[in-house]
Amino acid sequence: MQKRSLETRSRILSTSLDLFSALGYEKTGVSLICERSSVSKGSFYHQFPSKHAVFTTLLAQWLGDLDRQFDLDFSSASDVPSGILAMTGEFGRIMMLSRPYLPLFLEFWLQSIRNPEIWQQTIAPYQNYVDRFAKIFRQGVAEGSIQPVDPDDASLALIALALGLLLQNMMIPEGRDWPSVSENVISLYLNGIKGVSNA
Amino acid sequence: MQKRSLETRSRILSTSLDLFSALGYEKTGVSLICERSSVSKGSFYHQFPSKHAVFTTLLAQWLGDLDRQFDLDFSSASDVPSGILAMTGEFGRIMMLSRPYLPLFLEFWLQSIRNPEIWQQTIAPYQNYVDRFAKIFRQGVAEGSIQPVDPDDASLALIALALGLLLQNMMIPEGRDWPSVSENVISLYLNGIKGVSNA
DNA sequence: AATATTAGACTGACTGGTCGGTTTAATAAC
DNA sequence: GTTATTAAACCGACCAGTCAGTCTAATATT
């Protein structure tokens, strides 16, 4: 792969990201992608076998970014509740930064229901996250910083909160300070399951 | 409107509901709707001005159903936490019943980002629900059955939980008993903000 | 009771246009 | 000389929406 090739590839990917988010996958035509990224149609199909391949490439990129971000955040945590709460700050920041692309995330979600390949690609990492949080909560229960709750349920609840906040943020972009709202909401939840010793 | 007319209308609506959910709005052609509901194309356009009108009609129906269900559940509540918890049982039941149509709900959500008319139609009721729950939580704080939390945040959190559970249920349909999971998750949250007097 | 009228429901072939993807031949970059 | 890119023509499938005309059933007229 030559340098020039990589450039056109990334140009196609970035404008596709914008267009898919703004118009939706179906309504975004290949011709428009080419036009907006100053790439000929022939070149497009030289780089990608299909429009859908662009979509899955973007999905893989998104998942990779997410994974790297999580690994980064996990590294520096002492006590479980405070660790998760610290992560919440990051969450709010990421939420605002990636707000323009949330509709695309929803579209990923939607497609994974109907497309088995996309499903496997998206659902494996998701399961991963559930397990990871469950493990953290289990540890929290063991160290007494968390009340004896079911770790799986606690993990599902945390993820549900995050997803629900994302959805609501997507709908009502203005009028609320979402980072602080999400911090309040998650600490509301955490305070409830926090161990009495550390309260 | 004659009887025959009403029948074809409802036939179009019900198959559209199925098809939109199964294939998505864009991928569902009017011809297929007609074929599957044994209605000619002309008749379709006699009943609805456009494919999109069918979509908005379904949306209005969905919102109406939801509203009626909520009003029903609200009526019989004594204490705030127990009232909401009781509602959770209903939520789990509804979640499983309407599971085949959840993708369509997501599609409503997605379209409301890009279509101002759909946005107003969907977001007004949503705001309503936030306010309603906030009011309930405020009442709970006043009566001491709920700790002195911010009612708006508490309401947002509850809705976030519900939305997040819906999303997760959509992705992992089997392997979990979602009604009981949602009951556990929500009571996890409620126990956290419940007043110590009623604990 | 038999006939005529009428409004609305219904039909399905057809249209104008879009879109994903292919092909080709020539140019440019490495 | 191999790889990447371009521009433009092209294809087949599909799709939302239209239209001229037919059918149905209820009402009005005789």
The 3 state secondary structure assigned to chain B is: CCHHHHHHHHHHHHHHHHHHHHHCCCCCCHHHHHHHCCCCHHHHHHHCCCHHHHHHHHHHHHHHHHHHHHHHHHHCCCCHHHHHHHHHHHHHHHHHHCHHHHHHHHHHHHHHHHCHHHHHHHHHHHHHHHHHHHHHHHHHHHHCCECCCCHHHHHHHHHHHHHHHHHHHHHCCCCCCHHHHHHHHHHHHHHHHECHHHC
Contacts of A24 in chain B (CB under 8 A): 26, 110, 114
Residue A16 CA distance to nucleotide C12 C1' (Å):
39
Q: Which residues pair with A146 in a beta bridge?
A: A194
Per-residue pLDDT at B24 exceeds 80: yes
Q: How far is A47 from chain B (nearest CA, A)?
A: 26
- For chain A, residues with pLDDT lower than 70 are 1-2, 72-78, 195-199
At residue B188's C-alpha, the angle toward residues B139 and B106, to 5°, is: 85
Using alpha carbons, select from A107, A163, A108 the residue that is nearest to residue A130: A163
Nearest CA in chain B to A118: B171
**Alpha-carbon span B46 to A46, nearest angstrom:** 46
**Alpha-carbon span B167 to A130, nearest angstrom:** 14
DSSP-assigned letters across all residues of A152-173: HHHHHHHHHHHHHHHHHHHH--
For residue B136, report the phi and psi dihedrals to the nearest 5 degrees. Answer: -60, -45
Q: What is the pLDDT of residues B92-131, one digit of tens each?
A: 888 888 888 999 988 888 889 888 888 998 888 899 889 9
pLDDT at B74: 61
Strand nucleotide closest to residue B5 (CA to C1'): C9
Q: Which nucleotides of D are covered by protein (CB under 7 A)?
A: 3-9, 14-21, 25-26
Q: Residues 6 or more apart from A118 whose CB is under 8 A from it?
A: A56, A59, A108, A111, A112
Given an 8 Å threshold on Cβ–Cβ distance, is A163 in contact with B159?
A: no
Q: Is A157 on the interface with B (CB under 8 A)?
A: yes
Nearest CA in chain B to A173: B113
pLDDT at B163: 93
Strand D at less than 7 A from CB of B31: yes
* pTM for this entry: 0.88
Given an 8 Å threshold on Cβ–Cβ distance, is A110 in contact with B107?
A: yes
Q: How far is B196 from chain A (nearest CA, A)?
A: 11
Q: How far is B110 from chain A (nearest CA, A)?
A: 7
Q: Residues 6 or more apart from A94 whose CB is under 8 A from it?
A: A69
CB B167: neighbour CB atoms within 10 A? 20
Q: What is the pLDDT of residues A6-18, one digit of tens each?
A: 899 999 999 999 9
Q: What is the pLDDT of residues B42-93, one digit of tens each?
A: 999 999 999 999 999 999 998 888 888 777 766 666 678 888 888 888 888 8
Using alpha carbons, select from A166, A88, A152 the residue that is nearest to residue B161: A166
pLDDT at B199: 38
Strand nucleotide closest to residue A26 (CA to C1'): C19
pLDDT at B75: 64
Q: Which nucleotides of C are covered by protein (CB under 7 A)?
A: 8-14, 18-25, 29-30
**Alpha-carbon span B83 to B190, nearest angstrom:** 11
pLDDT at B1: 62
Protein-nucleic contacts, chain B 13-42 to strand C, CB < 7 Å: 39-42
